[in-house]
Amino acid sequence: MKNSTAENSTAETSTAETSTTETSTTETSTAQSPLNVTVVIGSNRHGRFGPVVADWLLERVRERDDLVVDVVDVADVTLPTTMEPAPHTAGPVSAKLAAADAFVVLTPEYNHSFPAALKNLIDWHFTEWQAKPVALVSYGGVSGGLRATEHLRQVFAELHAVTVRDTVSFHNAAASFGPGGRLKDPAGPDAAAKTMLDQLVWWARALQEAKRRSPYGG
Is 57's pLDDT higher than 70? yes
Torsion angles phi and psi, residue 63, rounded to 5: -80, 0
Is 26's pLDDT higher than 80? no
Is 129's pLDDT higher than 60? yes
Is 15's pLDDT higher than 80? no
Is 185's pLDDT higher than 60? yes
Is 13's pLDDT higher than 50? no
Q: How does strand 162-163 pair with strand 133-139?
A: parallel
Q: What is the pLDDT of residue 18?
A: 46
- pLDDT classification of 154: cutoffs 50, 70, 90: very high
3-class secondary-structure state, position 19: helix
Encode 48-87: b = buried (16+ Cβ within 10 Å), e = exposed. Answer: bbbebbbebbbebbeebeebbbebbbbeebebeeeeeeee
What is the tens place of the pLDDT at every residue in 28-47?
444 489 999 999 999 999 99
What are the angstrom distances between the C-alpha of 196 and each of 76, 163, 165?
26, 10, 8
| Cβ count within 10 A of residue 129 | 20
Which residue did the predictor score with more confidence, 204 or 78?
A: 204
Cα-Cα-Cα-Cα dihedral of 155, 73, 45, 51, to 10°? 110
Is 70's pLDDT higher than 90? yes
Q: What is the pLDDT of residue 218?
A: 74
Q: What is the pLDDT of residue 91?
A: 84
Q: Which stretch of 23-32, 51-60, 145-154, 157-166 has the lowest confidence by average pLDDT?
A: 23-32
Q: What is the mean pLDDT of residues 203-218?
A: 94
Residue 87: DSSP 8-state: T
- pLDDT classification of 110: cutoffs 50, 70, 90: very high
State how far the Cα of 197 lies from the Cα of 57, in Å rounded to an integer.
10
Q: pTM for the full model?
A: 0.85
Nearest to 64 by CA among 193, 208, 203: 193
Is 12's pLDDT higher than 90? no
Q: What is the mean pLDDT of residues 52-77?
A: 97
Q: What is the pLDDT of residue 85?
A: 76
Give the count of alpha carbons within 13 A of 185, CB side only: 6
Torsion angles phi and psi, residue 113, rounded to 5: -155, -170
- pLDDT classification of 4: cutoffs 50, 70, 90: low
The one-letter code for the residue type at 13 is T
